C-alpha cells in the first residue's frame, strides 16, 4: 500500500464493551445448513466497530491514496441484479449459474455498481459494493483496522438485545413502518419498493440499534473475517468466507437471512452488487 491512515469519510465508530451473549438463532427461523445452531454462550472482548457499512466516499479515498485495483476491476466482470443492470446488451454476458436473477456484466465494479452505464453520482453515502473479501481486508488494513469476527458482528448487531431476532427486537421488518431495506413483492421479478429502495439505501437510513449501529441487517451483506469452516485453509483463495446481515434482495420466500444470527458464505474473490463491509478494531482490556 502506498499510504496508511484512516479515511476522512470513514464511518464513525461505536465502542462495544466486553460481554457475553447467546450466539445463534432463537427465533426458530434458522436456515438448514447455515449452522445457526446450537445456541451457545460466547464471550467477546471490547472492540470498536463502524456505525455503518463503509461508504463509496470512504472507499474512494482509499483507492485515491493507494492506487488499489479491486478484484472486479481486475477481472473485468461482476454480477448485477437483473432489474438494476445499466449496460449495453453486448456487456451483459448472461445469467449467473444457478441464480438467473444475477446478470454477469462486463464493466461492473465498485465505481460502476450496476454496470458500465452506471456511476456513483449521488451515491457517496451508500455502502460500497462490488468488493471482495480481499478488497475489504485491504481497505481495513489501510485504516489500521480489520474485518469483524462473526461473534463480534453478531454481538454488535444485537445491540444489547440478547436473543432478539432483529437488531430492534422481535417485531417484523414492516411492523409499524419499515425498519430495514429488504425485498418487497414477488422475488425476483416484482419489487414494490415499499421501503423506498430497489437496491442500496444510504447508510443512515432507518434507525440505529441500541449500540448505535445502522442497518446491520438488510441493505448489503457484510464480510466477516472468519472462514465458513473452522478447518478451512486461510491462505486458500477458494476458502469460503462468512457474510452476515442479508441484503436488499432478502425476502421471506427466498432468503430470510436479514436476522442477527443468519449467515452465508462465498469465496474470498467473489464480488456482487449487494455485498459490502464494515470494520473493527480491538480495544485494550
Identify whether 1 is part of a domain. Answer: no
Residues 175-214 pLDDT 10s: 989 999 999 999 999 999 999 999 999 999 999 999 999 9
Identify whether 251 is part of a domain. Answer: yes
User: How many separate domains does the chain show?
Assistant: 1
- CATH code of 144's domain: 3.90.1580.10
Owning domain of residue 45: 13-282
Please give the Cα distance from 144 to 178 (Å, whole number).
35
Identify whether 218 is part of a domain. Answer: yes
pLDDT exceeds 70 at position 237: no
Residues 51-96 pLDDT 10s: 999 999 999 999 999 999 999 999 999 999 999 999 999 999 999 9
More confident residue, 285 or 144: 144
Identify whether 6 is part of a domain. Answer: no
pLDDT for 238 equals 65
Beta-strand relationship, 47-50 and 77-81: unpaired
Identify whether 2 is part of a domain. Answer: no
Backbone angles phi, psi at 113, to 5 degrees: -65, -25
pTM over 0.85: yes
Identify whether 5 is part of a domain. Answer: no
pLDDT exceeds 50 at position 132: yes
Identify whether 205 is part of a domain. Answer: yes
The torsion of the CA quartet 175, 177, 179, 184, rounded to 10 degrees, works out to 80
Q: Hey, what's the cell of 138?
A: 485491504
Identify whether 246 is part of a domain. Answer: yes
Q: What 3-state DSSP class applies to 60? A: helix
Average model confidence (pLDDT) for the chain? 93
Amino acid at each position: 500500500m502506498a499510504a496508511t491512515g484512516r479515511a476522512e469519510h470513514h464511518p464513525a465508530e461505536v465502542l462495544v464493551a466486553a460481554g457475553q451473549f447467546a450466539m445463534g438463532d432463537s427465533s426458530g427461523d434458522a436456515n438448514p445448513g447455515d449452522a445457526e445452531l446450537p445456541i451457545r454462550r460466547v464471550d467477546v472482548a471490547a472492540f470498536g466497530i463502524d456505525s455503518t457499512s463503509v461508504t463509496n466516499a470512504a472507499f474512494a479515498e482509499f483507492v485515491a491514496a493507494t492506487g488499489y485495483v479491486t478484484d472486479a476491476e481486475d477481472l473485468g466482470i461482476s454480477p448485477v441484479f437483473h432489474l438494476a443492470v445499466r449496460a449495453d446488451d453486448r456487456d451483459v454476458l448472461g445469467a449467473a449459474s444457478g441464480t438467473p436473477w444475477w446478470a454477469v456484466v462486463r464493466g461492473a465494479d465498485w465505481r460502476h455498481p450496476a454496470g458500465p452505464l452506471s456511476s456513483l453520482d449521488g451515491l457517496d453515502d451508500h455502502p460500497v459494493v462490488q468488493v471482495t473479501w480481499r478488497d475489504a481486508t485491504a481497505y481495513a488494513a489501510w485504516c489500521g483496522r480489520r474485518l469483524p469476527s462473526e461473534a463480534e458482528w453478531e454481538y454488535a448487531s444485537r445491540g444489547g438485545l440478547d436473543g432478539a431476532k432483529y437488531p430492534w427486537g422481535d417485531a417484523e421488518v414492516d411492523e409499524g413502518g419499515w425498519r430495514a431495506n429488504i425485498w418487497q413483492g414477488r422475488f425476483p421479478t416484482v419489487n414494490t419498493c415499499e421501503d423506498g429502495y430497489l437496491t442500496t439505501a444510504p447508510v443512515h437510513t432507518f434507525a440505529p440499534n441500541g449500540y448505535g449501529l445502522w442497518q446491520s441487517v438488510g441493505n448489503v451483506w457484510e464480510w466477516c473475517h472468519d472462514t465458513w469452516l473452522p478447518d478451512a485453509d486461510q491462505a486458500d483463495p477458494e476458502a469460503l468466507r462468512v457474510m452476515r446481515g442479508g441484503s436488499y434482495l432478502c425476502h421471506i420466500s427466498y432468503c430470510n437471512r436479514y436476522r442477527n444470527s443468519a449467515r452465508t458464505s462465498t469465496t474470498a474473490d467473489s464480488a456482487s452488487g449487494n455485498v459490502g463491509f464494515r470494520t473493527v478494531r480491538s480495544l485494550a482490556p
